Structure 1
Amino acid sequence: MSTENLLEQARALLIRTMTFYRDDPRTSTWLRGRVERLDQPLRIAVSGRVKAGKSTLINALVGEELAPTDAEERTQVNTFYQYGPEPKILVHTPHGAVQNVPVSTLDAGTIRDLQHWRPDEVVRLVIEAPSPGLQAISLIETPGLASSAVQETGRSALAQVLSEADAVLYLTRHPHQTDLQFLQSVHELQIARSAPINTIVAFSRADEVGSGGPEALQSAERIAERYRNDPTLRAFAQHVIPVVGLLGQAAATMTDAELTALTGLAQLSEADLDALLLSADRFANSTGPESIPPATRQHLVARFGHFGVERALTLIRAGSGDAKQLRSALLEESGLNALQEAVHQQFVERQQALRARSALLAVDMVLRANPRPGVHQLRGEFERLVANAHEWEELRLLSALDSGQVRFTRPLQAEAKRLLGAFGTDPRNRLGRDENALAVDLAEEATAALSRWREQAVNPLHDRTHREAVRTVVRSCERLVAQRPS
């Protein structure tokens, strides 16, 4: 069964379930919305605790400052950011009405004011923007986990919004028990437990780890490594990635004026620059140097953070002087590149598997919430699809290989990841061949790979975990052999 076939079968089961409940307008309408969603851009919910940096990271991922950022938690309603040919703001009320707020440009102040509305007045905001970063995905910003909005509407309402997403990007400064309990709560359903493939955890303020400073990111990476190997977190999260969201946003949207100011600061003597960078307050409010006034420095530290300013100046002095070089280096330093790569590989590249998961999750929710005579056939087909969803097994194993939970020898490790689709799900990518490879060569390589991994299946040195991993790779090879790519 290919990923495409899994999605087709999940769609077909979702439609049959909608037909089965056609005499229940509320249920059938809800299911129809889930069917329509399968052809829309992938939905990624950006969630987390209060002031985890959700808005900042959304702007960094999109490459534009769309989501308002404030010193205090302001988001009270779920806000959807999606692609549209023209700027548009839609307000959805609890009674089902949709109001169009006339705008010519997307002003952060307008969005901020609407986000302050109470959850019982506004169910969601939909922000449409002609941003290239939103063509493949839509982003859902949720209120903070401990915010007044969540306290009023309850976690079940937040969990309901997350169930509308195909994937979750969960932000935290440091995983607390509250985070783990919440993530467990949204993985309670059978389908979520069977396919824990849709969550990435980001340490969104990695520059604040410990005492901050140049060593903060290294400390954050060590903490992330520890959590990658934590069995509780690993049960529902595929990646744990440190990221400096503020720096990522600033790098992605850096202006010429900011580059000029940073370049001017980098020309100061080393002693003067070191003195200026002793603290964020000193950098922003010191009377000198006259060439870069306090207002400009205050702007820079607000945009880049103290850590970001320090890294930018270090990079400029080391030779990354033009805008392209500096932006690229800062994106790498911020961890945003690693996060975007994980989002692309885990979510975008595997979006059909995630869409199938969303479809089956909807079926599971309805069959549990509204059981009636005759559902046993739908339930049986649901169980069969879940049991045979090899794509989900591939994603789970890739996560285990990345985290170090499963380790083969270096050549086998690299081949396993490739065959599982880590570098692309096309047969040529899986088999390590270029686009000009002939079908006969692909068939020979697929057969050879299957033979190699069948030998590993009877290797007595493998423990149970590695034997199960080998079986997953063998099945991927068998599907490549059966596919006969042209």
Structure 2
Amino acid sequence: MNNSSLIQQVDGLIRSAATAYAGTPAEASLRTLAVRVRQPLRVAIAGKVKAGKSTLLNALIGEELAATDAGECTRIVTWFQHGESCRVVLQPRQGEAREVRYARPDSRAIQIDLGGARAADVERLVVEWPSTALRNFMLIDTPGIGSVSTDISERAQDFLTPANGRVTPADAVLYLMRYAHREDIRLLEAFHDDDIVQPTPVNAVGVLSRADEIGAGKMDSMASAARVADSYRKSEQVRRLCQTVLPVTGLLAYTGRTLREEEFHGLELLARAPAEELAPTLVSVDRFIKLDCPAEVDAEGRRHLLDRLGMYGLRLGIELIRSGKCGNSAQLAAMLIENSGLRQLVAALGTQFAARAEVLKARSVLQALGSVLRQMPLEGNKKLVAEVERVWAGAHEIAELRLLNSLRQDPAGFTEEEVAEAERLLGSSGIAPARRLGLAPEADQGAIRNAAQEALARWQRRAESPASLRQSVAAAHVLIRTCEGMLGDLVGPTG
């Protein structure tokens, strides 16, 4: 199941197209695509206003880079990518990109000087920052959808679902929703493949953001959020749009990754106070700020802890320290992250996005290349168009994505059990052979070979059954090739 040959074919197509279109207006776009093939996967973080996009981005990176207030730069699509040094580049809608000044007072969010440019005249900002987290992904912070400012909302919509045959610059999307509102569903429906003209769950993960607020910040808030997320995952409407839905409290995750010693000390003082005296102050935000506190933490200090943790994180931190589970800041930081849902999200990014990054990039670039060829046809480029179509139709990795997407719309005559196995074989839980076959991660090659052979025989029988519908047979043949590919990978290296 090696994807390198696919990305190499796509790279070759881009090079051929750039040569064919040399000296034309399309050349610059094609050169950009040639660079895109070699870049990390582009993951957009999208959602309605106040969904917690920038906070989650900061949690994923592990430091505060994206502004979380309503400043001028939050109106602009901002890309965060790994760089050997720190710099910010402004790409205007008209004209050349230029480096701009920035400040980062007290190691807080980057404050970018637009140099007199209006936010409406800026296509994007690119923040280059040395970060391990950004080596595998380029994270794209988008303006809030549903903003009172039509311009801001439309900018986010245009980035994710561009009109006039254009293709979104994102390879995948994390869509943050506080609840599954109609507007959330509508945007996810629009984030689709041109050739399928259907939503593509394989490159979208739903995030039930600010999950702690679902349970009003109570100690069982994340358990409540997990039940809500589970109901969304089972919803046919959401299931056909997202690979999965995960509950995450981005604020708690970010604070866990950046917890300061003085913050641990403040929580420690609160945890030492008599529980019966502290309890009335933890009923609500107002009470915590305004009531006399039995601990030696002043109102300003309490407000700071609330800003950093929220009521759920505050209650959780106090309980973890009071119970003796966390005796220092490092232990508390680890437990805050563990209870935030961040680890599960990072794992999903690995299995859903990173593991098939080459395929997702290849698909995005093929879409963009097809868009260029359609919008700017060139005499004599029929062979190039045919080659693009050949790769698009013949790449098994793309056929797997197409079938996985299709099964989320229509079970193709399969039973529920067959759909579940088919989706797993297609990589819905990860593309490693053990994951595809439903085996333990440590399964040896013998177990993998046996399971793959059994799956191959099963789907061969399904394809040959006289009772199978035509679409069932076509789907079964894709699964047969998947099984054969796994067996080939096992046999190849060992001779």
Correspondences of 1:41-440 after superposition (within 5 Å): 41-70=40-69, 75-102=74-101, 108=108, 110-111=110-111, 114=114, 118-147=118-147, 148=149, 149-150=151-152, 155-157=157-159, 159-160=161-162, 163-187=168-192, 189-190=194-195, 193=198, 196-209=201-214, 211-321=216-326, 322-392=328-398, 394=400, 420=426, 425=431
Paired letter, 1:234: R
Within 1, Cα distance between the matches of 2:44 and 2:341? Answer: 19
CA deviation vs aligned residue, 1:269-325 (integer Å, no higher than 9, x gap) = 221232121101222333322422222211111001111111222222333213343
1:7-64 deviation per Cα after TM superposition (whole angstroms, max 9, x unaligned): 222222333333333342x212111101111111221111111111111000111111
**What is the distance in 1 between the residues matched to 2:221 and 2:390?**
47
Q: Secondary structure at the match of 1:263?
A: helix
3-state SS, counterpart of residue 168 of structure 1: strand
Is residue 2:30 matched to residue 1:31? yes
- 8 Å contact 2:359–2:397 — kept in the other structure? yes
How far apart are 1:426 and its partner, in Å? 5.5
Looking at structure 1, the residues matched to 433 and 363 of structure 2 have their Cα atoms a distance apart, in angstroms, of 22
How far apart, CA to CA, are the structure 2 residues paired with 1:468 and 1:311?
Answer: 52
Structure 2 distance, partners of 1:126, 1:316, is 40
Q: Aligned with 2:119: secondary structure?
A: coil
User: Contact 1:401 / 1:407 at 8 angstroms: preserved in 2?
Assistant: no
> Residue type of the partner of 1:9?
Q
What is the CA–CA distance in structure 2 between the aligned matches of 1:248 and 1:475, rounded to whole Å?
A: 41
**Contact 2:200 2:240 survives alignment (8 Å):** no
Would the alpha carbon gap of residues 293 and 468 (structure 1) be closer, same or farther in structure 2, given more than 3 Å must change? farther
Q: Which amino acid aligns with 1:41?
A: P
TM-score scaled by structure 1? 0.84
Q: Secondary structure at the match of 1:146?
A: coil
Indicate the residue corresponding to 2:492 in structure 1: 485
Q: Is the 2:41–2:357 Cα contact (8 Å) retained in structure 1?
A: yes
Shift, 1:118, TM fit:
3.1
Deviations 1:111-148, CA, capped at 9 Å, x for gaps? 26649963333222111212221121111111112333
| Cα 1:246–1:38 shift into 2, 3 Å | same
1:163 counterpart SS class: coil
Cα distance in 2, alignment partners of residues 433 and 240 from structure 1: 23
- Aligned partners of 1:219, 1:194: CA distance in 2, in Å? 28
Superposed CA offset, 1:158-191 (max 9, x none): 5349811221111122222222222323326226
Aligned AA (2:375): A
Cα distance between partner residues in 2 of 1:73 and 1:174: 27
Query: SS of the residue aligned with 1:202?
Result: strand
* Separation (CA, whole Å) in 2 of partners of 1:227 and 1:66: 31
More displaced stretch, 253-262 vs 388-397? 388-397
Q: 1:444 to 1:218 in 2, by over 3 A?
A: closer
Contact 1:75 1:115 in 2 (8 A): no
- In the alignment, residue 348 of structure 2 is paired with which amino acid? A
**Equivalent AA in structure 2 for residue 81 of structure 1:** F
Describe the shift of the 1:224–1:130 C-alpha distance in structure 2 as closer, same or farther (beyond 3 A). Answer: same
The CA distance in 2 between the partners of 1:312 and 1:399, in whole Å, is 41
Q: Which of 271-280 and 178-187 deviates more?
A: 178-187
Instruction: Please give the root-mean-square deviation of Cα atoms over the aligned residues, in Å.
Output: 3.9
Q: Report SS of the residue matched to 1:330.
A: helix
CA distance in 1, matches of 2:99, 2:364: 29
Corresponding residue SS for 2:308: helix
C-alpha contact (below 8 Å) 1:167/1:199 kept by paired residues: yes
Distance (whole Å) between structure 1 residues aligned to residue 459 and residue 425 of structure 2: 11
Identity of aligned residues (%): 37
Please say if residues 191 and 200 of structure 2, whose CA atoms lie closer than 8 Å, have aligned partners that are also in contact.
Answer: no
1:326 and 1:399 mapped to 2: Cα distance? 41
* Unmatched runs of 5 consecutive residues or more in structure 2: none
Unaligned runs of 5+ in 1: none
**CA distance in structure 2 between the aligned counterparts of 1:232 and 1:418, rounded to whole angstroms:** 20
Provide the rounded CA distance (Å) in 1 between the counterparts of 2:11 and 2:197: 17
Q: Residue 18 of structure 1: SS of its match in structure 2?
A: helix
What CA distance in whole angstroms lies between the structure 1 residues aligned with 2:455 and 2:169? 39
One-letter amino acid of the structure 1 residue matched with residue 50 of structure 2: K
**Paired amino acid for 1:95:** Q
Q: Tell me the CA shift for residue 367 of structure 1.
A: 2.9
Greater shift, 285-294 or 459-468, is seen at 459-468
Report if the CA contact (8 A) 1:450-1:477 is conserved: yes
Check the 8 A contact 2:393/2:399 in 1, yes or no. Answer: no
Q: Is the 8 A contact 2:202 2:428 kept in 1?
A: no
